[in-house]
Amino acid sequence: MLRRNLMLALALALAGCSTFSPDNPPRVRLATTTSTYNSGLLQELLPPFEESTGIRVQVLAVGTGQALALGERGEVDLVLVHARRREDEFIKQGHGMERRDMMWNDFVILGPPQDPAGLRGGKDAPAALARLKDKRARFVSRADDSGTHIRELALWEEAGGVPVGETFYLEAGQGMGNCLTLADEKEAYILADRGTYVAFSSHLDLEVMVEGDPALRNPYGVMLINPRRHPHVQFAAARKLLDYFTSAAVQRRIEEFRVAGEALFHPAAQMSP
């Protein structure tokens, strides 16, 4: 009696679960970085696509490292990330294909208003980091294998080496927002993407110290997961989304997108002047 009730309850619960997730219309999964999602850009670009094609897009907003890992395992149908060297590797290893530039945004180096290292107004990012190291001014590193972290490391390399282990180099291991808050509380310098900084600026004392260096440009690439490696991917639907992202109309919409009155992303066509 008890056992029969138990089986019945289990069966009911499982039946409840399965009616829960009807996946009837074609569905594309896009793994992307938090910056594109959190800024609200994708929420603006995707609904018209879903409406005109009937394809549902599920967005997994994770770090670049995780997005590529999900692509490598075939959990998603396309990826939109910003770490050019990793993307090329990803293609070379046969996980991804048809990479296209979609857009770019830029990084800024932020610091406390007192600016103890005297970076304000700088245009040369590696030189600014070298100066930080010289003055032993606090710097918060994402240290989470994200696209921003990868860029941080590249800039430090150019500045003569990553100061891992130094007391002024704080490895946070958290998302951009949490790191900004941390840097603000610790009166430290930090490399941030402009979008997240704009979203957080009303909670922060941090100010822009260095911007406009071409080395701070952050290109976003979108690519398809190789269907030969993962036969189950929604290749045709994913390619439609890829074409849509790089279409003239969407490129224009990217250009016109504003958060708090600021342009955050620029069409990739502007990449080469």
Partner 1 sequence: MIFLWEGLAEAARLLWTGDARTYHAVLVSLSCTTAAVSLAALLAVPYGAWLGLYSSTPYRRVQVFTLRVAMSVPTVVLGLLVFAFLSRRGLLGELDLLYTRTAIIVGEFLLAFPLLGSLVYGATARVEARVVETALTLGARRGQALVKVLGEVRPALVAAMLAAFGRCVTELGIAITVGGNLPLHTRTLASTAQLELSRGRFAAALAPGFLLLVLAAGATMLASWPERNSRP
Residues that bind partner 1 (CB under 8 A): 2, 6, 9-10, 13, 16-18, 20-21, 23, 29, 34, 38, 58-61, 73-75, 175-178, 180, 196, 199-200, 202-203, 230, 232
Buried (b) or exposed (e) across 239-255, using 16+ Cβ within 10 A? Answer: bbbbebbbeeebbebbe
> In terms of CB distance, is 176 or 242 closer to partner 1?
176
Instruction: Tell me the residue type at 17.
Output: C
What residues are paired with 217 via a beta bridge? 106
We find the least distance from the C-beta atom of residue 162 to partner 1, in angstroms, to be 25
> In terms of CB distance, is 201 or 246 closer to partner 1?
201
Distance CA 236, CA 102 (A): 19
We find the least distance from the C-beta atom of residue 231 to partner 1, in angstroms, to be 10
We find the least distance from the C-beta atom of residue 1 to partner 1, in angstroms, to be 9
Kindly state the helix (H) or strand (E) to which residue 35 belongs, with its residue range. Answer: helix 34-38
We find the least distance from the C-beta atom of residue 6 to partner 1, in angstroms, to be 6
We find the least distance from the C-beta atom of residue 190 to partner 1, in angstroms, to be 14
Cβ–Cβ under 8 Å, residues 172 and 180 = no
Q: Which residue has the tokens 């700088």?
A: 122
We find the least distance from the C-beta atom of residue 74 to partner 1, in angstroms, to be 5
Distance CA 37, CA 148 (A): 15
> In terms of CB distance, is 48 or 212 closer to partner 1?
48
> In terms of CB distance, is 63 or 267 closer to partner 1?
63
> In terms of CB distance, is 74 or 126 closer to partner 1?
74
> In terms of CB distance, is 114 or 202 closer to partner 1?
202
State the pairing for strand pair 262-263/258-259: antiparallel
Q: Strand, helix or coil at 238?
A: helix
Q: Strand, helix or coil at 267?
A: strand
Distance CA 100, CA 84 (A): 11
> In terms of CB distance, is 141 or 146 closer to partner 1?
146
Contacts of 260 (CB under 8 A, 6+ apart): 198, 199, 201
We find the least distance from the C-beta atom of residue 182 to partner 1, in angstroms, to be 13
